[in-house]
Chains A and B, each alone.
Chain A
Amino acid sequence: MNLGPPIPARSLWRRAPWGLILVALLLTAVGILNLASASRTADASLWTSQLVWVGGAYVVVLLLLAVDYERLYQLAWPFWILVVALLVAVELRGEVAMGAQRWLVLGPIRLQPSELAKLAVILVLARLYEDDGEKPEGYGLVELWRPALVVGIPAGLTLVQPDLGTAALIGAVAGTMVLVARVRTGTLAILGAGGIVAGVLSWFFVLREYQKKRVLAFLDPEADILGSGYHANQSMIAVGSGRWAGKGWGQGTQTQLSFLPEQHTDFVFSVFAEEWGFRGGALLLAAYAALCFMGLKIAAQARDRHGAFLAVGAVALIFWHTLVNIGMVTGLLPVVGVTLPFMSYGRSSGLTTVLAIGILANVGARRRTS
């Protein structure tokens, strides 16, 4: 098999998945608008700096459409090794913020390697499953050692930072790709049981005190309204009080009077739901759904397995972030510090989201035409 002749740039431009890009840009615009409201009480320049950063990232990614994603096949392992090295470096001499070592300062750049780890895992797994080809009988337990290592090392390093949310997300994204690559039914059952055991063990040996508190607060949010349950409680009040029509942009009392914590990062959806109501929230969810479906369609129509798994990984990344974040701010999941793609403020997470869209666009532009 061969790639055939390279597709001319003009044709690429025409074949790019414009629907997906449009939805992504729309979500980004809504996110910036929402940030402008959420950061009114804080630093007014937040939304502009996010606009410049993310906008620049879009331009770069669209320019890179001309470069075939095939390059990522070669880049996968070096990138993975680099990320693991950075994670180790963070552990050794990273910057402590909010009780965890997450940032690495390289000159003017403050880097969060755990964000990059998600991408590294996607790249390496996509390469693995490209190489393996379709396995009709699925993978057995022992055969899963490679993905286990590929995921386990960066996820483990992230967990000890400690950053439970990102570690879980790396696991969820990778798990999605592994499942799409097919796993034997018996193996699935064993993994499920193992997961439960691991969860129980981690409660006693891995989770830090504040993480346990968050989980407990999630299980019984009323128990300590001013303590651990405060965030979740105020967030649910923000969302619920938005009702059908919302309080209007810049009018959310939970947001503007600072009752809502972390409102431009983790709890940004609560801001949106409070100010735009169920109408706005439902439309936003529909946009996420459309984005995911279009991404999976790109995966199904990909030129090769490499592209298909890259696309599945990118969709999984956006979907899991969305599910965990909105689940968390609406009280369905414990508060674990996971950002909402397109909406949350933050350079590393913003960049990861745009890169995921870039991958989808690149794979989509080179999709099978038949």
Chain B
Amino acid sequence: MRLPGSGNVDHGLRRRILVYGVAVGLGLFVLLGRIWYLQIQRGEEFSAKSSGNFIKEIRVPADRGMILDRRGVRLVDNRPSWDVYVTPAFCGDCEEVLGRLAAYLALDAEERMRLDEQVRKARGLQRFQPILVRLDLDRDQLDVIEANRDSLPGVDVVSTPHRDYLYGTLAAHMIGYLGEANAEELERFRKAGLSVMLGDYVGKTGVERRFEAQLRGRDGIQRVVTDARGQRIPGLEGLIPRSERFVPSVPGHNVVLSIDARLQEAVEEIFDVPAGAVVVMEVNTGYVLAIASRPTFDPNRMTGRISREELRAISEDPLRPMLFRPVQSHYPPGSIYKVIASLAAFEHGFAGEVHCGGGYTLGRRRWRCHKESGHGWVSPEEALQVSCDTWYYAAADRIGIDALADMARRFGLGAPTGLDLGWEVPGIVPSVDYYEKNVRGGYMRGYALNTVIGQGDNNVTPLQMAVVYAAIANGGTIYRPQVVRRIERPEGYVVQEFLPEVRGRIDVPKASLDRVRKGLEMVVETPGGTAYAHRILGRRTAGKTGTAQVVRIGSVRQKVEEMEFFTRDHAWFAAYGPAEEPEVAVVVLNEHGGSGSRAAAPYAMRILERYYQILEEDRAGPPSPEKIALPPRRAPRPAPVEEGAASG
């Protein structure tokens, strides 16, 4: 048995205790060095990281600019849309939260599955990316969500400005719609210096697309304090320097169109056909007053509110509602082409009378006039008036296809008009060269006879024909058609103005043009003219009917009951008015509508009538201020000093 306290603490043990003391000192000194390193050496860096932890940047989306008509009438603006998002990292039991959401919002099984899938697939940093549940809640849904906030962790309701197309389908193709930016657009816009993020809506077509940069504006930032679960903690704003808490957004510019909403509305109402296009253009500026395409669509639906079924229906519709027919599709012009043929004939000395016996024989084939009994002796003016094909066969056979092609090109055919709203097709100007290159067997003389009456491979867009008729009306100037007058800041300061732009002159003697204009006037104003029945009393109009045979059925697959429709002729009417001092050109294409004089001219004349009526309204008195926006203001200028004020 040991005696307590027997072992002495000798010198050696005391020395080793001292050594251990040194080791303890060293160890703690290393810790001191470490906190010096973290807090002093790298303190700034960790401070920044700490701030980065609790500062959440909330994007303050910029208001997209409005789209206004020429008088300032709002066609497109923005309204708040309440959108619900869920963030997988913050919802805890996401399954349960989604279940509640589904009940509150009446999500269908398909939507539910898509969400579950997306939440499940989110990994790593992706879990912090909010997932869209539902756009555009209605008032009741919003109330339910707000009332149940506490049982919905990770669920956010965000108010975003949503595009509002106030007149629905009005000028839908020209105005365009928005859609989520795809990868290609993201890159393109970022390169252009725009603040575009994944999931942002950008212009997909029309003016919305073409003027994205101007309409977009610049997003602002709001910085708030959040805890580790991403919950916003109010009352701690002091942690963020005052100047950094809020960076306001800069709203986008407004786009002022050349469109007159009243006329556009009339066109949309009058032109009630299954498929076709209308263009109304000022002949002395190229500004488009109205432009419509049938069938049409509602940009409000297209902008993120459309179901998959609706989208499928649109893409499977044989009439292709999304096609902007005035520029994105081309058609044989039929007889409205004959103005070009006449000018080409005059230029090559073919300007006399021709006897029409109901057709023209070339080789072994007879080319029939649409009037089988014949027109008898026909002057160039009468050839236009009654649309005598025989006169043109004779002319074409004399001057050749290249003479026609040359004149067509001078009018801008065979190339995009420069409207610049995307996907504009050039049309086809047939020539010897064209046939040699594209048609088996090469060129044959008969092709000139086909071309001269606007048939065969001769193809134009409705907008091109508006430019052609405007040029004939204005004395030969080819204007670039434009739909935008200017870009303004929200307060009205003009940022950019689009002045009329001359692209070329057709360069024909005035006498030749006058003869064509005379013929066009006779079409409408002289008995026997193909549109005489539809003339406007009190106004003289010049125009030309066209009935284009559909040679090829087209590439659209058809159902049996539609066969008849798709084999019908295209009805055209191209006109300008008033005949003596032309102001506007109107082109109407009624796809598969039948004859130009019955299925196109009446629409065009009613549109012209409405144009004159609007003119009268404007002349009668200034428009009431509540109906239209204020006139555009220039940059503020110092008030002029009134002369003589001092002496008086």
A is bound by B: yes
- Say whether, besides A134-B10, A257-B53, A243 and B3 are in contact (CB < 8 Å): no
Interface string of A120-153 (1 = CB under 8 A from B): 0000000001111110100000000000000000
Could you tell me if B25 and A289 are in contact, using CB atoms closer than 8 angstroms?
A: yes
| Contact between chains at B5 and A180 (CB < 8 Å) | no
Looking across the interface, which residue of chain A has its beta carbon closest to that of B36?
A278
Q: Contact mask B112-130 → A, CB, 8 Å, 1/0? A: 0000000000001100000
Say yes or no: B53 contacts A253, CB within 8 Å.
yes
Verify B233–A257 contact, CB threshold 8 A: yes
Quote the shortest CB–CB distance from A351 to chain B (angstroms): 23
Closest to A132 in B: B7
B35 CB, nearest partner CB in chain A, Å: 5
* Residue among B21, B54, B124, B226 with the highest chain A CB neighbour number at 10 A: B21
A-chain residues with CB within 8 Å of residue B20 when the two chains form the complex: 176, 179-180, 296, 312, 315-316
Q: Which one of A273, A299, A300 lies within 8 Å of B39 (CB-CB)? A: A273
Q: B5, B28, B43, B233 — which one has the most chain A CB atoms within 10 A of its CB?
A: B5
**Are B38 and A226 in touch, CB under 8 angstroms?**
no
Among B11-19, B268-276, B358-366, B626-634, the stretch that binds chain A is B11-19
**Is B377 engaged at the interface, CB distance under 8 Å to the other chain?**
no
Residue B31 at the chain A interface, CB threshold 8 Å: yes
CA distance A19 to B125 in the complex (A): 52
Q: Does B27 contact A (CB under 8 A)?
A: yes
Say if the beta carbon of A337 comes within 8 Å of chain B.
no
What residues of chain B lie closer than 8 Å to A273, measured between beta carbons?
A: 35, 39
| Contact present for A240 and B46 (CB under 8 Å) | yes
Report the number of A-B residue pairs with Cβ-Cβ less than 8 Å.
189
Contact of B31 (CB < 8 Å), options: A73, A179, A327: A327
Within 8 A of B (CB), among A50-73: 70, 73
Interface centre among B24, B42, B51 (most CB of A within 10 A): B24
Kindly identify, within residues 232 to 261 of chain A, every residue whose CB is under 8 Å from any CB belonging to chain B: 234, 236-244, 253-254, 257-259
Tell me which residues across on chain B come within 8 A of A326, comparing CB atoms.
31, 34-35
On chain B, the residues within 8 Å of A289 by CB distance are: 24-25, 28
Within 8 A of B (CB), among A289-329: 289, 292-293, 296, 299-308, 312, 315-316, 319, 322-323, 326-327
Judging by beta carbons under 8 Å apart, are A244 and B39 in contact? yes
Q: Size of chain B's interface in residues, with CB distance under 8 A? A: 50
Q: Is B373 an interface residue (CB 8 A)?
A: no
- Report the separation of the CA atoms of residues A130 and B53 in the bound assembly, to the nearest whole angstrom: 55
Q: Does B143 contact A (CB under 8 A)?
A: no
Is A332 among interface residues, defined by CB-CB distance under 8 A?
yes
Query: Which of the 9-residue segments A30-38, A201-209, A280-288, A342-350 touches chain B?
Result: A280-288
B7 touches A304 (CB 8 A): yes
User: B residues within 8 A CB of A319?
Assistant: 24, 27-28
In the complex, A289 Cα to B42 Cα: how many Å? 25
**What's the Cα separation between A181 and B14 when bound, in Å?**
10
Q: Given A131-B2, A299-B17, A302-B9, decide whether A241 and B36 contact each other with a Cβ distance below 8 A.
A: no
- Does B502 interact with chain A (Cβ within 8 Å)? no
Say yes or no for B614: interface residue by CB 8 A criterion.
no
Residues in B whose Cβ lies below 8 Å from that of A305: 7-9, 13
Is the C-beta of A182 less than 8 angstroms from some C-beta in chain B? yes
What residues on A are CB-neighbors of B38 within 8 Å? Answer: 236, 239-240, 330-331
Say whether B13 contacts A134, CB under 8 Å.
Answer: yes
Residue of A nearest to B38 (CB): A240
Residues of B within 8 A of A302 (CB): 9
Which of chain B's residues has its CB closest to A73's CB?
A: B4
Cβ-based interface call for A190 (8 A) = no
Are the C-beta atoms of B54 and A257 separated by less than 8 Å? yes
Q: Does A189 lie at the interface of the complex (its beta carbon under 8 Å from any beta carbon of B)?
A: no
Q: Quick one: closest B residue to A136, CB to CB?
A: B12
Partner of A304, one of B6, B24, B54, B225: B6
In this assembly, does B563 line the interface, its C-beta being within 8 Å of a C-beta of chain A?
Answer: no
What is the 8 Å Cβ interface bit string for chain B, positions 588-631, against chain A (1 contact, 0 not)? 00000000000000000000000000000000000000000000
Docked complex: B445-499 residues within 8 A CB-CB of A: none
* Alpha-carbon distance A174/B505, docked complex (angstroms): 103
The contact of B17 among A130, A180, A304, by CB within 8 Å, is A180
> Which residues 81-139 of B sit at the A interface, judged by CB distance below 8 A?
124-125
Interface residues on A, range: 35 or more
**Contact, CB under 8 Å: A1 / B225:** no
- The answer to whether B4 touches A312 (Cβ under 8 A) is no
Residues of A within 8 A of B537 (CB): none
Are A241 and B50 in touch, CB under 8 angstroms?
A: yes
Question: In the complex, are the beta carbons of B4 and A282 less than 8 A apart?
Answer: no
Whether B46 and A237, one on each chain, are in contact in the complex, defined by CB atoms closer than 8 angstroms, is yes
* Residues in B14-71 with C-beta less than 8 Å from chain A: 14, 16-18, 20-21, 24-25, 27-28, 30-32, 34-36, 38-40, 42-47, 49-51, 53-54
A2: B residues at CB distance < 8 A: 3-5
Partner of A323, one of B31, B42, B46, B227: B31
Q: Is there a chain A Cβ closer than 8 Å to B398's Cβ?
A: no
Is A3 in the interface zone, CB < 8 Å from B?
Answer: yes
A281 and B21 within 8 A (CB): no
Smallest Cβ-Cβ distance to B127: which chain A residue: A226
Determine if A162 is an interface residue (Cβ-Cβ < 8 Å): no
The answer to whether A292 touches B28, judged by C-beta atoms less than 8 angstroms apart, is yes
Q: Does B228 contact A (CB under 8 A)?
A: yes
In the complex, which residue of chain A has the Cβ closest to the Cβ of B28?
A289
Closest-CB distance, B511 to chain A (whole angstroms): 83
B39 touches A312 (CB 8 A): no
> Given A243-B39, A258-B229, A308-B9: A315 and B46 within 8 A (CB)?
no
Q: How many angstroms between the C-alpha atoms of A303 and B9 in the bound complex? A: 7
B7–A130 touching, CB < 8 Å: yes
A277 an interface residue at 8 Å Cβ cutoff? Answer: yes
- B8 partner residues in chain A, CB cutoff 8 A: 1, 134, 304-305
Instruction: Decide if B35 touches A239 in the complex (CB within 8 Å).
Output: yes
Minimum CB–CB distance for B241 against chain A, Å: 14
- Whether B166 is near chain A, meaning CB under 8 Å from some CB there, is no
10 smallest A-B Cβ distances: which pairs? Answer: A240-B46, A305-B7, A241-B50, A243-B43, A257-B227, A258-B228, A240-B38, A278-B39, A304-B5, A241-B46
Q: A180-B16, A253-B50, A278-B39 are in contact. List 18 more A-B contacts (CB 8 A).
A: A1-B5, A1-B6, A180-B17, A180-B20, A226-B125, A240-B42, A240-B43, A240-B47, A240-B50, A244-B40, A257-B226, A278-B36, A289-B24, A289-B28, A305-B8, A307-B9, A322-B28, A330-B34
| Chain B residues within 8 Å of A, Cβ to Cβ | 2-10, 12-14, 16-18, 20-21, 24-25, 27-28, 30-32, 34-36, 38-40, 42-47, 49-51, 53-54, 124-125, 225-229, 233, 239
A-B contact pairs, 5 of them (CB 8 A): A134-B7, A239-B39, A306-B5, A315-B20, A322-B28
